Structure formats: C-alpha cells, structure tokens
Structure 1
C-alpha cells in the first residue's frame, strides 16, 4: 500500500535525515577522522546534486516516489544517480513511475528482509535516449518472483526491458524509455 505524504511528514523526515548526517559529521570530527568527514560531505553533495537533477526531469511523480522511497518500511535501500544532461520526461512520468513502483515492490518482496540489500538506480540521459539501470546487491530469496515479473510484465509501447540478469546475490536490469523518435 502506498503512503500519501503531507508537507509536515516530509519536513519531519527530511529534518531527521539531516540531523543524522550532521551527527555523523560531528562524531567523526570528535574522533579526528577528518578524511571521513570530507567523504561524508562529498556524499551529501553528490546525493543533493542527483536529487536536483532528478527533480529537473519534469517528472514529479517519479521524483517524489524515488526521493521518498527510503522513508517507507522497506527491505532494501535505494540510491539514485542521474547521469547526463537534463531532459523533459513529463510525457512518460506516469508510465515510468508505475513501472518502477511495481518493479521495486516485487524486488522488495523477493529479498531477504534482514540482509543488507542495496539498489542503485542510474538514470542515464543521452541525446534523447533514456535508460534506467537497476543494480542490486544483497540477498534475493525468491529469484523466480523477479524473473516472472520481468518476463510477464505487460510493457507499454513507451517502456522496453533491454536486458536483465538475476542471481541470488545480485541483479542488473536495464529499461529504456522509447521516445517518439525511437518508436518509429
């Protein structure tokens, strides 16, 4: 079931995340681990830049879903990176958000709940071509569940699964958004 977030809840979670980051910096400073402090700051900067790029894709449903993903009770964590020049994905917002939501729900159900499950979603934007690469590391308990989804999911004319490999401890799935010029 999908949670609807209101402004107060979003601000509360955001404040909590920032306080955790500040405490992590403060703790490492107290221990004299200045190299680690610099790493944490660089990670925060990179995360913020990726969130800004994601927000600028003109796909508010997708951006909202992905940026709030880790705030819900999940068995995996999601990291997002946006590579390439910004594009307008407003025409594909609902379809790609729906596909990502369904896929990530299947993955969430198929992985071992107490394992360290991490998924990196790379959104690659290259001269009109848009690819979503899901790179998972962790423990997959029900590999067949994910394979069934990938093999049987009804894909719209806009979304195409290019490639996938699913193993017990890792997975990579590449999905492409077919723009109007690519559908011809």
Structure 2
C-alpha cells in the first residue's frame, strides 16, 4: 500500500471531483440531462459509501479502498456498505489483509485484456460483518485463486467457454461489543 501524503491525497481527490464536474458541464451543454443525472447519482453513491467507510473507524482498510482508483490497476473496483454501520477498529487489520491479499493475487494473475471487475460489499448485522467479494475476469492461474479461497464460503465459482472466471465468496467477522462506562 502506498504511503500517501495529505497533499497528494487532496490533489488526487480534487482532480477526481474536477473530472466529475467537467462531465456534468459537458453533458449539460449537450442537453444530455439523463447522463447528468447518472453522473450525479454515481457521485452521491460514492460519497455516501465513503462516509460509511469513515464511520467504520478502519483507517488502513478505508485508505486502501478510497485510494484504489488513484493509481493504475488492471481491475475495476466497486464497493458498497450496507446495514447499521458502526465503528469496528479492531477489524481494520483483518479486513485490510483479506482484501489487499485478494487484490494482490488478482492483480498478479489477471489477464488485463478482459476488463476484470471486483465488487466488495460489507454488510453489517447485529453481531457480524459479512465481507462479500465478487470477481469476474480471466486469470492466468485460476488455481491460485481457488487455493486462496479455501477458508472462505464460496457461493459460486464458474468458468465460461471463453475462460472468464466468475467468483462470489463471503468472509465474516465477529463484531466485538464494548460497554460504555
């Protein structure tokens, strides 16, 4: 994981928002209101999910996800947070390790010509955080991913005739409660 300075983060983040504003302006000039609405909806979705990540109080994991798109990667990453989000600082290292090791494995063995995609959803329940990961793309060595997934609950793992691998898996983490005294 890259060590970001505050200045670098602000510069990249500002650039990202300027791109979004330029897309809105361009589509308004072309009177493509449906595109403007889509861009605004995507920006709002992103901001809401980032706010939920920050409420989790998992700085390393949050930094990993929020800065993922700031550097070139072979995979596209989408993420979403569901449920009654609360602070889980004790899970920061585990979540970061789980997802970073998954992404490192994918990045090392993905065929970049297949537009690979990874989706992460975090679902909060009363006692558990479910970490659902979905991947779609071509891997040079699918066995490495299958070996990595062994300890997790795999919902789907299929490969098309074209060699596109589709995987859905879940890891769950117990939430530790602390009394407020």
Give the TM-score normalised by structure 1: 0.86
- Cα distance in 2 for partners of 1:141, 1:30 equals 44
CA root-mean-square deviation: 1.7
Corresponding residue of 1:175: 171
CA deviation after TM superposition for structure 1 residue 164, in Å? 4.5
Question: What residue ranges of structure 2 are gaps of 5+ in the alignment?
Answer: 159-163
Once the two structures are superposed, residues 82-108 of structure 1 have per-residue CA deviations (whole angstroms, 9 ceiling, x without a partner) of 001112211111122112111111012
Say if 1:162 and 1:176, in contact at 8 Å, map to a contact too.
Answer: no
The gaps in structure 1 that reach 5 residues or longer are 152-159
SS in 2 for 1:45: helix
Residue 156 of structure 2 corresponds to: 165
Q: SS where residue 78 of structure 2 aligns?
A: strand
Whole-Å Cα distance in 2 between the matches of residues 139 and 20 of structure 1?
30
Deviation at 1:180, TM superposition (A): 5.1
Given that 2:52 and 2:85 are in contact with CA atoms closer than 8 Å, whether structure 1 keeps it comes out as yes
Hey, what does 2:161 align to over in structure 1?
A: none
Runs (4+) of structure 1 exceeding 4 A deviation are none
CA distance in 2, matches of 1:60, 1:8: 17
Number of aligned positions between the proteins:
172
Confirm or deny: 8 A CA contact 1:140 1:170 kept in the other structure: no
